[in-house]
Chains A and B, each alone.
Chain A
Amino acid sequence: MRAAPWLLAPVAALSMPAYATSYLTIEEAQRIMFPGTTLTPAALTLTEAQAREIERRAGVPVPGRTLHLWRAPDGAAFIVDEVIGKHEAIGYALGINADGRVRQVEILDYREAYGWEVRNEKWRRQFIGKGAADPVLLDRDIRNLSGATLSSRHVTEGVRRLIATYAVAVK
């Protein structure tokens, strides 16, 4: 939340630049989440109605209309997205199974000296299996990262938004 609205602009025109603190490339994240599976890029632009429905379900604004999406043959999806950590963007990837449940979350990069804790595997593992029926809320079914509250809240909100996005526009 602590960011100028124009910082959300890169989400709309996401090109995933190679930050210095890049931990995984998109290809690496795809190999980790979908080993041996061929993913097909599928450009998708959300309609206004879809974006509003996602906002309604997830309870957070949809910052951009362009979805960076790859599909697996079985209907599963791989989505690359950004959220604001404390002030700057955190790039992450979400793997989602055909049943709409989270397969995996990987942090791709971030630019801040704060919030690196979200890379913690045990923390990210909490998202696995979460679906549209789960709250996916910090302090509710997702434990906080003490000292990185903003980053963990924003990644949690991002995952919740992408779960809704899958249900509304991808499935």
Chain B
Amino acid sequence: MKRPSVPVTRQRARHLARALLAPAALGFAVSALAAATPPASSEQRLEQRVEDLAEQLDALKAELARLQAERALAPPASVAAAPAAAPVAAGTSAAGFEKLSLWGYGEAYLTHPTHVSGESQADLARAVFGIGYQFDDRTSFNSEYEIEHAVASSGDVGEMEVEQFFLDHQLTPWGSVRAGLFLMPFGLLNEHHEPTNFYGVQRNFVETLILPSTWREGGFEFNAHGVSGLSVSLGLTTGMNLAGWDYAPEFPPYRNALELENNGAAPLQASHQELSLANAQHPSGHLAINYTGLPGLKVGGALFSGNAVEVPSAPNAPPTGTMRVTLWEGHARWQMSGVDLSAVYAHGAIGNTAGSNLANPGSPNPIPSAFYGYYLQAAYADGLNLGRYRLAPFVRYEYYNLGSSYAGAAPAIPAGSVPLSATPGDYGLWPKGQDRVWTLGANFYVTPNVVLKLDYQTFDVNRDFTRFDLGLGLAF
């Protein structure tokens, strides 16, 4: 809401004067025409009118001069008053917009694998803009649009995505229904994934690989909460699709930690559908329970279960059978006196994988029947208060295993160096699907909504994944 500058208001005053003068001039012209053929009896009346008009003109000139002087000499006080007047003016002039809300967030980072510096990458990982609309007191709409990796085109890896698109309708003060494409209420990060809300440059591995993030499904959800701090979400949504599972990757699906997160190699990353022409033959259900009754505490858990779209059976082979995906997690977060502790455990299972794994012998990438991970994180949210800035150091230990058990066939990982890409001479080890990761770093809050991040991550198994990251995040 920028206030018009003085020259513009001066112009406005001129317009006003012109508008006032025009009818007067017209009136004068009409009178003059009438005067051209004067009946002798009306001569005096005409003279009188001309005089009147002249007087009016003088008055208008004076008024114009006064207006111009006023604008030109507008004291600074009226400029200072502008911000006070602005919200009121905006509120009355933008009546339709008060139901609309706009927000956004995004993050850019530099990641530097310390052992393989040639794989350093800088990326505008995501730029997200949200639009909401309040239809009435009970009905609201929320949506988010995301561009990943800065450029989305047929020749780039970037993606343009609708990340959320849903309606909430309040039924009672304690209960509401949600419909559309929405975030799944799993773990600590998925529903609160803005970069200002998590520690570390990249999202943690457990809530990226075991619980996919940003995980959303299309469907319905009933949400209820009580003043005691207990809340429940119960939903029916689209589910996983294993029909396109890649049993025969030509190259390792990822070669460093950043690719591990980005390339969709984890079981549910590879099979969630994001409501993009999603196969909807099997509905999935979920239940999430959270308790936030004590200030600073959040404990909860969630369960998701549903049949996935099966891997097509090989010719002359028996049908694959029902492949049920079950995912559950438990989480806790305790924030007190500046200390911020959190823990998440997540476990996934896929049923009836033996048949299709056996039908693809020697695969380096069979479908796991179980995968899990957990992390423990401690941060000092009130760490260092540098005047208006805040530095929050943190440490996180996590373990992830993308395939803790297999039915039918275990992964046949090629030993030794393998080609990592079609580029000649590009060789390396096929990565292992489990690791123990320590992350040490700090979030530096320029404002509560603008954060600079720094961290160092060590990998116990895939040692070459060890990296140093620098990030910038914001949300508004």
Whether B296 and A146, one on each chain, are in contact in the complex, defined by CB atoms closer than 8 angstroms, is: yes
Interface core residue of A7, A48, A64 (most chain B CB under 10 Å): A7
Residues of A within 8 A of B290 (CB): 147
Whether B134 and A116, one on each chain, are in contact in the complex, defined by CB atoms closer than 8 angstroms, is: no
Docked Cα-Cα span, A4 to B97, in Å, equals: 9
Whether B102 and A4, one on each chain, are in contact in the complex, defined by CB atoms closer than 8 angstroms, is: yes
Residues of B within 8 A of A38 (CB): none
Residues of A within 8 A of B136 (CB): 20
- Rounded to whole Å, the gap between the CB of A48 and the closest CB of chain B is 6
B251 interface hit (Cβ, 8 Å):
no
Interface residues of chain B: helix, strand, loop or mixed (majority): mixed
Whether A111 and B227, one on each chain, are in contact in the complex, defined by CB atoms closer than 8 angstroms, is: no
A25 interface hit (Cβ, 8 Å):
no
Whether B335 and A143, one on each chain, are in contact in the complex, defined by CB atoms closer than 8 angstroms, is: yes
The number of chain A residues with a CB under 8 A from chain B is 46
Proximity string of chain A (1-21) to chain B, C-beta cutoff 8 Å, 1 when within and 0 when not? 111111111111100010111
Residues of B within 8 A of A145 (CB): 292, 295-296, 298
Docked Cα-Cα span, A21 to B171, in Å, equals: 9
Whether A10 and B91, one on each chain, are in contact in the complex, defined by CB atoms closer than 8 angstroms, is: yes
Docked Cα-Cα span, A146 to B291, in Å, equals: 10
- Rounded to whole Å, the gap between the CB of A58 and the closest CB of chain B is 13
Proximity string of chain A (131-162) to chain B, C-beta cutoff 8 Å, 1 when within and 0 when not? 00000000110011111110001000000000
B338 interface hit (Cβ, 8 Å):
yes
Residues of B within 8 A of A12 (CB): 87-88, 91
Whether B197 and A87, one on each chain, are in contact in the complex, defined by CB atoms closer than 8 angstroms, is: no
Segment of B60-68, B137-145, B200-208, B264-272 in the binding face: B137-145
Residues of A within 8 A of B92 (CB): 9
Interface residues of chain A: helix, strand, loop or mixed (majority): loop
Chain B residue with Cβ nearest A22:
B173
Proximity string of chain A (45-64) to chain B, C-beta cutoff 8 Å, 1 when within and 0 when not? 00010010000000000011
A121 interface hit (Cβ, 8 Å):
yes
Docked Cα-Cα span, A7 to B223, in Å, equals: 26
- Rounded to whole Å, the gap between the CB of A11 and the closest CB of chain B is 8
Residue positions of B touching A, CB distance < 8 A: 1, 80-81, 84, 87-88, 90-92, 94, 97-98, 100-103, 130, 132, 134, 136-138, 140, 142, 168, 170, 173, 176, 178, 188, 191-192, 197, 223, 225, 227, 229, 231, 290, 292-298, 333, 335-336, 338, 340, 381-382, 448-449, 475-476
User: Could you jot down 27 A-B contacts, CB within 8 Å?
Assistant: A2-B103, A4-B97, A5-B1, A7-B98, A7-B101, A9-B94, A12-B88, A20-B138, A20-B170, A64-B88, A87-B101, A113-B140, A113-B178, A117-B292, A120-B229, A120-B292, A122-B293, A122-B295, A140-B338, A140-B382, A143-B336, A144-B296, A145-B295, A146-B292, A146-B296, A147-B188, A147-B290
